[in-house]
Amino acid sequence: MIQLDHVTHRYRSPEGRDVTALEDVSLKIEAGQFVALRGPSGCGKSTLLLVAGALLRPTSGEVTVDGRQPYALSPDERAAFRAGEIGFVFQQFHLVPYLSVLDNVLSPSLASGRKNRQRARDLVAEFGLEHRLDHTPSALSTGERQRTAMARALYNAPKVLLADEPTGNLDPENADIVLKRLAAFAENGGAVLMVSHDDHATGMAHEVVAMKEGKISHP
């Protein structure tokens, strides 16, 4: 479902101090698989997620998601592909500051045209935020923002879910809700790649991939 073949990514700096964030990374995640990614700060985990999520074109290598190569598509086609196939939970959430929780969760419908308020409400309730429907992100706690981002990622019923530290700001009870949702997503045939440092979270995954200095350390 998600395949990276010999992916390298270098961030260019104007002063010529390039950073190689990913170096020859190959990784395959099948439908139904829940994979956790861990490794020290700065080793390239978020970069890997962005590249897999059709959000950051790698310097070299090939990315395939659900049989298609997102970076071979035009920007518009890629945006539509991403909206339909890929749910993304960003490390910094990236909620739209002027939209309510409900409208943030509904925002993927702007790209897909599939607007279903009841579905958005159900997702909001699933993550225990029904009393926050009309709040904007600035009025939410960090954990509430994180759960809003989770609900948004699931809204379009994507095939692939990429989640960057989705439980990093949650108490054990809410972390459990999120982790069980990720596991259920995989059980229903989706592919999940989750970045996490938390042993409990990675313990829920079928496989844990370790990263170090831009490389995957295969056991």
Ligand X SMILES: Nc1ncnc2c1ncn2[C@@H]1O[C@H](COP(=O)(O)OP(=O)(O)OP(=O)(O)O)[C@@H](O)[C@H]1O
Residue type, 165: E
Q: Cα angle at 200 between 167 and 90, to 5 degrees?
A: 25
* Closer by beta carbon to ligand X, 51 or else 140: 51
CB of 44 to Mg ion, least distance (A): 8
Q: Which of Mg ion, ligand X, none lies near 21, with the C-beta cut-off 5 to 8 A by kind?
A: ligand X
**Considering the rule CB under 6 A, would residue 14 count as an interface residue with ligand X?**
no
Q: Which of ligand X, Mg ion, none lies near 19, with the C-beta cut-off 5 to 8 A by kind?
A: ligand X
- Are residues 60 and 4 in contact, defined by beta-carbon separation less than 8 angstroms? no
- Site residues for ligand X, 30-69, by CB under 6 A, read 41-47
Distance of CA 13 to the CA centre of its chain: 26
Q: Which of ligand X, Mg ion, none lies near 11, with the C-beta cut-off 5 to 8 A by kind?
A: ligand X
What are the angstrom distances between the C-alpha of 172 and each of 5, 138, 157, 168, 196? 36, 23, 25, 10, 14
* Closer by beta carbon to ligand X, 21 or else 192: 21
Q: Give the total of residues touching Mg ion (CB under 5 A).
A: 2
DSSP string computed for 147-162: HHHHHHHHTT--SEEE
Q: Give the total of residues touching ligand X (CB under 6 A).
A: 11
106 contacts: CB under 8 Å, gap ≥ 6: 115, 117, 120, 155
- Site residues for Mg ion, 56-115, by CB under 5 A, read 91
- Are residues 145 and 97 in contact, defined by beta-carbon separation less than 8 angstroms? no
Interface residue with Mg ion among 3, 33, 46, 146 (CB under 5 A) is 46
Nearest to 48 by CA among 88, 76, 79, 81: 88
Stretch that binds Mg ion, among 15-23, 39-47, 67-75, 108-116 (CB under 5 A): 39-47
Q: Which of Mg ion, ligand X, none lies near 47, with the C-beta cut-off 5 to 8 A by kind?
A: ligand X
CB of 37 to ligand X, least distance (A): 9
Give the total residue count for the chain. 219
**Considering the rule CB under 5 A, would residue 148 count as an interface residue with Mg ion?**
no
**Sites of contact with ligand X (CB under 6 A):** 11, 19, 21, 41-47, 91
